[in-house]
């Protein structure tokens, strides 16, 4: 054996010894690191009882979506119900070897190390080599802290989880938990928010778009970064082709498709804000806030969207008509004509959009003459307000006092005024014949007075519509259920019902004449009067009810006793513990419109008392049904 050969053999022997020594040292170091970081690891048994926060949805009686409540907008879907194309898109984007590795992917780690060396040299941010299993560990058990310690713990837990749970279970957890941008948690909620579709309706390019989000939801927001998001989507489509999920033709066709997001169709959504808020309060009282915002309740309500629309329009129309009879209070604001108004109008419109109804617009007065006012809108289009439609606008000069009639638009408006206008009605069109109705507007104002309306089925107690005010956005205070008002003469039928219960008949004669009652020591005598101070003398009880005679109602209560009247008021649910005062018979004690409507429904149903109901059915999504109570 030559000296050169012996030298080579010696060199190999030395290298082998060094390598073996380093291997032992690496093994020892790895064992020590494993032992150190294996201590105090989170318990992952909770994954077997996965109960994520899910969105609570309210539906109208016809099945339209009414409202959603959630801390995290999520809809849980088992893996068996997630289409294959959706699973494949996420696997190609995040972890193509998911079904082969044991929780960590050595090839992925090597690829990440190589890319990080390149990125570090170019000053770019570093990338991770996390598998889907590691992402599940991070989302469920650890924090988002970027550190070597967290990555080691993540890898240890990923391996352990893979030994306990099936791959399908881990993928199910991942696809339901992951945040996918636009307030969406999980693939089902994302499909609804991005495309207004269920998962089984998604195309392959739409599934690939969703798969762009786990990497960086803020960066790949298609609304703000169209090109970057499309580039990432197309890369995922190429990966799906490389992984054998798509043919080349399918990939090319999908990449040609532009990014298209779809909002919910307005026709698919019911609008009943006051009603929905009342249901929300009811659910919170019944089950608590956690169940409401995280329990995934599916609630079918009693509201009829068509009747609700009629109720809203009727209430707003009545409030507007009442308000207009009391004069014009002036513009909503004023912009100096020397200033640029466009940006200011846009800002003012956004600040007041909650008060602006469908069809109404805000405009700036730019021209006035004897016959009309010209307004310009945010989009720089113009409209005309004919003077013929402005004659109601007598200014209020004092509380309840109107000034002189106006003779021209300049009497009521000036240049720079920001005014609210709305479409003209069919009746108004008769006053302004020969104009372009598409560009002709009615001068309007937001009513100062407010009110409420309740529509209830008297035979079942189901509340079909509820309007708690002119505009929900200005206040969620529900005047139908929360505002206590004196019912006035609307309480009289219940006084007469008490009379019928105590032997009186419609033909019983009761004196309609002035009456006086002592209110106690030191208090003045109570002298209720009829409207216009007119009296009919001896009159049948039926006429007294028909004509709403105050003094007859008081005398009837005297004859049967105030306690019996109060008892009827309590039995019908109008009052709980009213004072023992005779003024109650004329509706002087406060109650709510909701309670009064319920009481009248009992009269309409022949005396049958129905408990008012806003909810038909409550079920917990994928957990079974609950009684509405």
Segments in 414-549 forming alpha helices (H): 426-429, 492-501, 541-546
Residue 39 confidence (pLDDT) above 60: no
Answer yes or no: is 63 within a domain.
yes
What number is the average pLDDT over the span 595-623?
Answer: 89
500 and 624 share a domain?
Answer: no
CA distance 601 to 610: 8
Concatenating the DSSP letter of every residue in 411-436 gives: GT--TTEEEEEEEPPHHHHTTSTTS-
Q: What pLDDT is stored for residue 15 in this prediction? A: 55
Residue 263 confidence (pLDDT) above 60: yes
End of a domain among 413, 444, 475?
A: 444
500 and 373 share a domain?
Answer: no
528 and 568 share a domain?
Answer: yes
Q: What total number of domains does the chain contain?
A: 4
CATH number at residue 157: 1.10.3810.10
Structure tokens at 288: 């608590």
Percent of the chain with pLDDT over 90: 58
Q: What pLDDT is stored for residue 32 in this prediction? A: 47
CATH number at residue 347: 2.40.50.140
Answer yes or no: is 596 within a domain.
no
Position 126 confidence tier, pLDDT thresholds 50, 70, 90 = very low
Q: What pLDDT is stored for residue 71 in this prediction? A: 87
As annotated, the active-site residues are 94, 489
Position 142 confidence tier, pLDDT thresholds 50, 70, 90 = low
What number is the average pLDDT over the span 403-420?
Answer: 90
CATH number at residue 495: 3.40.710.10
Specify the higher pLDDT residue, 39 or 519. Answer: 519
Answer yes or no: is 512 within a domain.
yes
Answer yes or no: is 472 within a domain.
no
What number is the average pLDDT over the span 428-456?
Answer: 91
199 and 347 share a domain?
Answer: no
Specify the higher pLDDT residue, 201 or 124. Answer: 201
Specify the higher pLDDT residue, 557 or 343. Answer: 557
Answer yes or no: is 405 within a domain.
yes
What number is the average pLDDT over the span 261-268?
Answer: 81
pLDDT in tens, 183-208: 899 999 999 999 999 999 999 999 99
366 and 224 share a domain?
Answer: no
Percent of the chain with pLDDT over 70: 86
Helix, strand, coil tally for the chain in percent (to 5): 45, 15, 40
CA 219 vs CA 129, 194, 227: distances in Å: 19, 16, 11
Answer yes or no: is 292 within a domain.
yes
Q: For residue 125, what are the domain limits?
A: 82-263
Beta-bridge partner residues of 618: 299, 626
Q: Range with the lowest mean pLDDT among 99-113, 221-235, 490-504?
A: 99-113
344 and 279 share a domain?
Answer: no
pLDDT in tens, 104-113: 877 666 665 5
What number is the average pLDDT over the span 417-434?
Answer: 89
504 and 423 share a domain?
Answer: no
Position 42 confidence tier, pLDDT thresholds 50, 70, 90 = low
Pair 581, 543: CB distance under 8 Å: no
Q: What pLDDT is stored for residue 285 in this prediction? A: 94
Answer yes or no: is 351 within a domain.
yes
213 and 247 share a domain?
Answer: yes
pLDDT in tens, 339-364: 788 888 988 988 888 888 888 999 99
Taking all residues of the chain, what is their mean pLDDT, rounded to a whole number? 86
CB burial readout 418-434, b (16+ within 10 A) else e: bbbbbebeeeeeeebee
At residue 154, what are phi and psi to the nearest 5 degrees? Answer: -60, -45
Answer yes or no: is 608 within a domain.
no
CB within 8 A of 122, min separation 6: which ones?
none
Burial of residue 626 (CB within 10 Å: 0-12, 13-18, 19+) is middle
Residue 306 confidence (pLDDT) above 90: yes
113 and 241 share a domain?
Answer: yes
Q: What pLDDT is stored for residue 304 in this prediction? A: 97
What number is the average pLDDT over the span 569-583?
Answer: 93
Specify the higher pLDDT residue, 621 or 429. Answer: 429
Burial of residue 599 (CB within 10 Å: 0-12, 13-18, 19+) is buried
141 and 230 share a domain?
Answer: yes
244 and 113 share a domain?
Answer: yes
Q: What pLDDT is stored for residue 624 in this prediction? A: 41
Across 15-24, 110-119, 188-197, 615-624, the highest mean pLDDT is recorded for 188-197
354 and 495 share a domain?
Answer: no
Pair 355, 473: CB distance under 8 Å: yes
């Amino acid at each position: 054996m030559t000296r050169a050969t012996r030298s080579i053999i010696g060199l190999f022997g030395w290298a082998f010894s060094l390598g073996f020594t380093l291997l032992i040292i690496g093994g020892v170091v790895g064992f020590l690191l494993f032992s150190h970081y294996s201590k105090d690891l989170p318990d992952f048994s909770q994954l077997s009882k996965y109960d994520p926060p899910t969105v609570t949805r309210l539906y109208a009686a016809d099945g339209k979506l009414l409202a959603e409540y959630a801390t995290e907008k999520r809809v849980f879907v088992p893996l068996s119900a997630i289409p294959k194309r959706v699973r494949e898109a996420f696997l190609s984007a995040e972890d193509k070897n998911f079904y082969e590795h044991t929780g960590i992917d050595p090839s992925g780690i090597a690829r990440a190390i190589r890319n990080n060396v390149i990125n570090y040299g170019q000053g770019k941010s570093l990338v991770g080599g996390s598998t889907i299993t590691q992402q599940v560990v991070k989302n469920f058990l650890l924090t988002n802290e970027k550190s070597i310690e967290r990555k080691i713990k993540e890898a240890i837990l990923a391996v352990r989880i893979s030994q306990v749970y099936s791959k399908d279970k881990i993928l199910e957890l991942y696809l339901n938990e992951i945040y996918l941008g636009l307030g969406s948690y999980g693939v089902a909620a994302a499909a609804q928010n991005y495309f207004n579709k269920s998962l089984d309706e998604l195309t392959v390019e739409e599934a690939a778009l969703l798969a762009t989000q786990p990497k960086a939801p803020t960066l790949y927001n298609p609304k703000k970064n169209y090109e970057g998001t499309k580039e990432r989507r197309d890369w995922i489509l190429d990966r799906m082709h490389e992984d054998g999920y798509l043919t080349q033709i399918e990939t090319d066709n999908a990449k040609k498709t532009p990014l298209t997001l779809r909002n919910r169709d307005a026709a698919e959504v019911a609008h009943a804000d006051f009603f929905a808020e009342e249901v929300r309060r009811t659910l919170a009282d019944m089950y608590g806030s956690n169940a409401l915002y995280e329990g995934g309740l599916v609630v079918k309500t009693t509201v009829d969207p068509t009747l609700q629309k009629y109720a809203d329009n009727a209430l707003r129309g009545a409030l507007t008509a009442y308000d207009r009879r009391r004069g014009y209070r002036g513009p909503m604001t004023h912009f100096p004509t020397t200033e640029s108004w466009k940006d200011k109008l846009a800002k003012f419109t956004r600040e007041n959009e909650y008060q602006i109804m469908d069809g109404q617009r805000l405009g700036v007065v730019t021209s006035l003459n004897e016959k009309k006012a010209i307004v310009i809108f945010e989009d720089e289009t113009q409209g005309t307000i004919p003077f013929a439609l402005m004659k109601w606008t007598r200014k209020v000069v004092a509380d309840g006092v109107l000034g002189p009639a106006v003779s021209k638009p300049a009497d009521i408006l000036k240049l720079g005024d920001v005014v609210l206008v709305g479409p003209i009605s069919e009746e108004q069109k008769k006053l302004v014949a020969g104009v372009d109705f598409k560009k002709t507007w009615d001068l309007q104002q937001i009513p100062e007075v407010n009110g409420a309306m309740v529509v209830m089925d008297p035979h079942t107690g189901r509340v079909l519509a509820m309007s708690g005010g002119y505009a929900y956005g200005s206040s969620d205070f529900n005047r139908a259920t929360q505002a206590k008002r004196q019912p006035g003469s609307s309480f009289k039928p219940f006084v007469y019902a008490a009379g019928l219960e105590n032997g009186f008949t419609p033909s019983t004669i009761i004196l309609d004449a002035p009456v006086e009652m002592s209110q106690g020591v030191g208090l003045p005598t109570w002298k209720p009067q009829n409207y216009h101070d007119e009296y009919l003398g001896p009159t049948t009880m039926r006429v007294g009810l028909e004509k709403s005679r105050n003094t007859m109602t008081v005398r009837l209560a005297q004859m049967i006793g105030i306690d019996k009247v109060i008892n009827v008021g309590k039995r019908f649910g109008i009052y709980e513990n009213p004072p023992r005062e005779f003024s109650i018979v004329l509706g002087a004690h406060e109650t709510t419109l909701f309670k009064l409507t319920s009481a009248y429904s009992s009269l309409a149903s022949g005396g049958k008392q129905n408990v008012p109901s806003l909810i038909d059915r409550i079920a917990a999504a994928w957990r079974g049904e609950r009684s509405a109570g």
